[in-house]
Structure 1
Amino acid sequence: MTAANLTIEAYVRSLIRQDAQLDPRPFLVSAIGGGGKTTTLVELFDAAIRPRSILTSTTALGLPGAGREVAPPLSHKQKKNPALARVTAAPPAGSGLWLGPACEDIAGKHRGLDRDQLDAWVREQREAGDKDTLILCEADGSKRKPLKAHAEHEPVIPKTTDLTLILFGLSAIGQALAEPVVHRAPLFSAATGLEAGKPIQISNLLSLLNSGHFFKGIPPTSKIAVVFNQADCLDKEQRTQGFFHELAGRVLENSRISAVFFKGLDRGEHKTYWGQSKNSGQPAPFSAVIMAAGMSERMGGLNKLLLPLGGQTVIARTLSRVLSAGIPDLVVVTGFESQRVRETIETAIRPLKGGTNLTFVTNDRYCEGQGRSVAVGTQHLAPESTACFYVPGDQPFLSPLLLRHLMEEFETGKIMIPVREGRRSSPVLFDRSFYRELSSLAGDLGGRQVIQDHEDAVIEVISHDHSAGFDLDTPEDYERARSLVKIEHTERSFP
Structure 2
Amino acid sequence: MAELISLDRFVDVLQAARREHIALIGGGGKTTLLHALGSQLGGSRVLTTTTVMGHDQHGDLPVVFPTTDGDVARAARNRAVIVWRRIEGKKAKGVAREDCDRWFDLVDHVVVEADGARQRPFKAPAPYEPVVPATATLLVSVIGADALGRVIADQCHRPLRVAALAGCTPYERLSATHAASVLLHHRGALRAKPAGARLVVVINKVDDTSRRSVDELVDVLHGRDRALQVIAISRR
**Smaller-chain TM-score bracket:** 0.7 to 0.9
The match for 2:102 among 103, 116, 120 is 120
Mapped to 2, the partners of 1:184 and 1:93 lie a distance apart of 35
Quick one: distance in 2 between partners of 1:62 and 1:35? 15
Contact 2:147–2:174 at 8 Å: present in 1 too?
Answer: yes
Compared CA separation, residues 100 and 254, structure 1 to 2 (3 A): farther
Match of 2:76 in 1: 93
Partner of 1:10: 12
Q: Cα RMSD (Å) of the superposition? A: 2.5
Kindly state the Cα deviation for residue 256 of structure 1 after the two structures are TM-superposed: 9.1
Confirm whether residue 202 of structure 1 aligns to residue 187 of structure 2: no
Q: CA deviation at 1:209?
A: 2.5
Deviation at 1:199, TM superposition (A): 1.7
* Aligned match for 1:111, one of 88, 93, 101: 93
Match of 2:119 in 1: 144
CA contact (8 A) 2:150 2:173 kept: yes
- Alignment partner, residue 45 of structure 2: 53
Instruction: Report if the CA contact (8 A) 1:56-1:99 is conserved.
Output: yes
Offset at residue 255 of structure 1 (A): 4.5
Query: 1: distance between equivalents of 2:12 and 2:147?
Result: 27
Contact kept? 1:27, 1:162, Cα under 8 Å: yes
SS at match of 2:192: coil
Question: Which of 20, 35, 53 is matched with 1:42 structurally?
Answer: 35
Aligned in 2, Cα 1:247/1:197: closer, same or farther, shift over 3 Å?
Answer: closer
The Cα offsets for residues 246-305 of structure 1, whole Å up to 9 and x where unpaired, read as 643542344596310111322xxxxxxxxxxxxxxxxxxxxxxxxxxxxxxxxxxxxxxx
Query: How many correspondences in the alignment?
Result: 222
Measure the CA separation in 2 of the matches of 1:247 and 1:259.
13
How do 1:107-256 and structure 2 match up within 5 A? 107=90, 109-123=91-105, 125=106, 133-178=108-153, 180-212=154-186, 213-232=188-207, 234-235=209-210, 238=212, 244=215, 247-255=217-225
1-side partners of 2:121 and 2:28: how far apart?
Answer: 4
Paired AA for residue 42 in structure 1: H
Instruction: Name 1:102's counterpart in structure 2.
Output: 87
Residue 233 of structure 1 and its aligned partner are, at CA, apart by 6.4
Q: Is the 8 A contact 2:184 2:190 kept in 1?
A: no
Task: Tell me the TM-score normalized by structure 1.
Answer: 0.42
Alpha-carbon separation, structure 1, partners of 2:146 and 2:126: 22
* Equivalent residues in 2 for 1:78-477, closer than 5 Å: 84-90=60-66, 91=72, 92-94=75-77, 95-104=80-89, 107=90, 109-123=91-105, 125=106, 133-178=108-153, 180-212=154-186, 213-232=188-207, 234-235=209-210, 238=212, 244=215, 247-255=217-225, 258-266=228-236
When residues 256 and 118 of structure 1 are mapped into structure 2, their CA distance, relative to the original with a 3 A threshold, is farther
Matched position secondary structure for 1:171: helix
Q: Using the TM superposition, give the Cα deviation of residue 46 of structure 1 relative to its aligned residue in structure 2, in angstroms.
A: 1.6
Alignment of 1:22-37 (within 5 A): 26-37=19-30
Q: Could you list the runs of 5+ residues in structure 2 that have no partner in the other structure? A: 67-71
Checking the alignment, whether the CA contact within 8 Å between 1:225 and 1:257 is kept in structure 2 is: no
Shift of residue 120, structure 1, vs aligned partner: 2.5
**Aligned-partner residue type, residue 172 of structure 1:** A
Aligned to 2:69: none
Contact 1:167–1:228, Cα closer than 8 Å, also in 2: yes
Distance change in 2, residues 1:215/1:53 (3 Å): same
- Distance across 2 between alignment mates of 1:42 and 1:29: 12
TM-score by length of 2: 0.83
Higher RCO (CA < 8 A, seq sep 6+) = 2
Structure 1 spans left out of the alignment, 5+ residues: 18-25, 267-495
Shift of 1:229: 1.1
Are the aligned partners of 1:52 and 1:134 in contact in 2 as well (CA < 8 Å)? yes
In structure 2, give the amino acid aligned to 1:11.
V
Please tell me whether the aligned partners of residues 100 and 110 of structure 2 are also in contact (alpha carbons under 8 angstroms).
no
**Structure 2 partner of 1:468:** none
